[in-house]
Amino acid sequence: MERSGGKILEDNPKPAELISPVHLVGIGGVGMSGLAWLLKDLGYAVQGSDKEESIYTRKLKKVGFKIFIGHHKKHVEGAKSVVYSQAIKEDNPEIKRAKELSLPIFHRGWILAHLAKKKKSIVVAGSHGKTTTTAILSYLLHHLGVSSSYYIGGTIKGWERNACWDINKIMVLESDESDASFLYFRPWISIVTSLDDDHLPFYGGMDKLKFAFEEFLRNTSSEGMVIMETRTTPKISIPPSTKVVTYGIGDGEVMATSLKNVQGGVSFVLKINNQNTGRWFLPLPGEHNVENSLPGIYLALYFGGEISQVRKILSKFPGVKRRIEKVGDIKGATIYDDYAHHPTEIKRILGVFSSHRVRVVFQPHRYSRFSYLKKEFANALTGVKEVVLLPVFSAGEKPIPGADSYSLLSLLKSLGVKCCYCQNIQQAIEYLQSSLTNGEIILTLGAGDVWKVGKLLVSQGGEE
């Protein structure tokens, strides 16, 4: 599969079995920590390293995983296989040492796909909504008693883990299109939530991104199906022999209509193939979350759940951490946090709080994304009381000239948006502490570590 300047996805490595002990380079991220849980469940001895401690390394260490903070060649000694995440570069000392020792080295995505081949996999892809879609499906199947493995790019509130290996045949996975590693999978059922202008520096344009999603659908089993959001369907060519189920708000074979914002969430009428199944309740805010729930509802019914049973389970879904998550209250202000890191996602989240006075603490994620979408970010952030900008969270990327938060600051000011720049998280906390007002919403947004702002604010004098 070619793109400008080379292949979209490198050829699969030669078939090789993962050998224990396994060393995970970059174990502190949500994806790699999830893989650590899967490998542990399968009986592998697992260890790993990351440049700094995280909530995931602390949790893994607490239950007995060997965790190294910092990267050093000595950490690989004793390992028989090495797995790395997308954020890890070739000059990483552990990767270099693994090559010197002739250890088998695998990309995280390839290992996940290798494991998924042992199952009837349900793979979720899309520019937005993957984590919540995967989480709701996993939650519904679990409470229906449909035993399945799961791998989620976030943690369901109240669950200790974001991944688990089960002996039965079904596996629900969130995939990653950012580096085309979702093309390693051979899904039984594919779910496509959306297609938007993200990761374009990697692909070289929307046409190549679209082509990658079409390849993903071609990789879906002829015995399975594709479940796709209705606005996305016209954008992607689907193999003619593929069974397709569409879903959406006001459109699709699985359709939510008559949405009402109610206390604690959203109620909606669900129609499946024009059959009215009654009114449902999702204990999450936002139309986009109703949309995210539809594939899970459909598959829960497909696997034998009764409508009344699935409806009751959905009404108790606790949500996912870092997805419109209430952090606490301080000085009459309420703090929320969300993972939104694309203009489309920011618009959706701000829509949830449209009737409130909102101050946003925004941390752009990845220079490459920010460089492509800077104007779109500026437009998405208009209409709020104030924007507090933090430096770009690099996610391992090198800086790009002009792709910095100062440039966004200038754009926002030109649009008449009140804004300021803070050099680090502590400075943002101090600024907010000195300017909080009663009744306002403080919303931290970004895929990096901006969540620390809200957590530290509340811990320093608020109420959780």
Q: What CA dihedral angle connects 75, 80, 85 and 88, to 10 degrees?
A: 50
Give the residue from 180, 125, 131, 127 showing the smallest Cα distance to 151: 131
Same domain flag for 86 and 20: yes
Report d(CA 226, CA 239) in Å as an integer: 10
Contact in structure between 340 and 323 (CB atoms under 8 Å): no
83: β partners: 24, 106
Q: CATH no. for residue 35?
A: 3.40.50.720
Same domain flag for 155 and 101: no
pLDDT score at 329:
93
E-strand spans in 166-264? 170-174, 189-192, 225-229, 244-249, 254-262
For 255-268, what is each residue's pLDDT tens digit?
Answer: 999 999 999 999 99
Asked, for residue 2, whether it belongs to a domain, the answer is no
Q: CATH no. for residue 329?
A: 3.90.190.20
Give every CB contact of residue 90 below 8 A, 6+ residues apart in sequence. 96
Same domain flag for 156 and 277: yes
pLDDT for residue 395 is more than 90: no
**Which of 58, 76, 109 is a domain's end point?**
109
Q: Compute the mean pLDDT over every residue in the chain, rounded to the nearest whole number.
A: 92
Which of the 8 DSSP states describes residue 397?
P
Average pLDDT on 199-207 reads 90
Radius of gyration, alpha carbons of the chain:
22
* pLDDT bucket at 12, cuts 50 / 70 / 90: very low
445: β partners: 338, 362
* pLDDT bucket at 16, cuts 50 / 70 / 90: low
Asked, for residue 10, whether it belongs to a domain, the answer is no
b/e map 85-115, b = 16+ CB within 10 Å: bbbbeeebbbbebbeeeebbbbbbbbbbbbb
pLDDT score at 425:
95
pLDDT score at 397:
87
pLDDT score at 464:
56
Within a 10 A sphere around the Cβ of 16, how many other Cβ atoms?
11
Map residue 164 onto helix, strand or coil.
strand
Within a 10 A sphere around the Cβ of 315, how many other Cβ atoms?
14
Same domain flag for 303 and 346: no
Same domain flag for 260 and 377: no
**Counted domains in the chain:** 3
**Which of 283, 314, 345 is a domain's end point?**
314
Q: CATH no. for residue 207?
A: 3.40.1190.10
Asked, for residue 37, whether it belongs to a domain, the answer is yes
pLDDT for residue 6 is more than 50: no
Same domain flag for 29 and 159: no
Same domain flag for 141 and 101: no
Map residue 195 onto helix, strand or coil.
coil
For 330-350, what is each residue's pLDDT tens digit?
Answer: 989 999 999 999 999 999 999
pLDDT for residue 9 is more than 90: no
Average pLDDT on 399-421 reads 95
Instruction: Give me the count of residues in the chain.
Output: 464
pLDDT for residue 82 is more than 70: yes
Asked, for residue 4, whether it belongs to a domain, the answer is no
Asked, for residue 90, whether it belongs to a domain, the answer is yes
Same domain flag for 268 and 373: no
Asked, for residue 421, whether it belongs to a domain, the answer is yes
Report d(CA 416, CA 449) in Å as an integer: 27
For 17-72, what is each residue's pLDDT tens digit?
Answer: 799 999 999 999 999 999 999 999 999 999 999 999 999 999 999 999 999 999 99
**Exposure on the CB side of residue 364, measured as CA atoms within 13 A:** 30
Asked, for residue 207, whether it belongs to a domain, the answer is yes
Same domain flag for 105 and 125: no
Asked, for residue 131, whether it belongs to a domain, the answer is yes
Same domain flag for 333 and 291: no
For 114-136, what is each residue's pLDDT tens digit?
Answer: 999 999 999 999 999 999 999 99
pTM: 0.92
pLDDT for residue 220 is more than 50: yes
pLDDT score at 239:
87
pLDDT for residue 4 is more than 80: no
For 355-375, what is each residue's pLDDT tens digit?
Answer: 899 999 999 999 999 998 999
Same domain flag for 142 and 287: yes
Same domain flag for 276 and 173: yes
pLDDT for residue 5 is more than 50: no
Average pLDDT on 287-316 reads 97
Average pLDDT on 162-171 reads 94
**Which of 80, 109, 138 is a domain's end point?**
109
Return the percentage of the chain with pLDDT > 70, whole number.
Answer: 96
Which residue segment(s) compose the domain that 135 sits in?
117-314
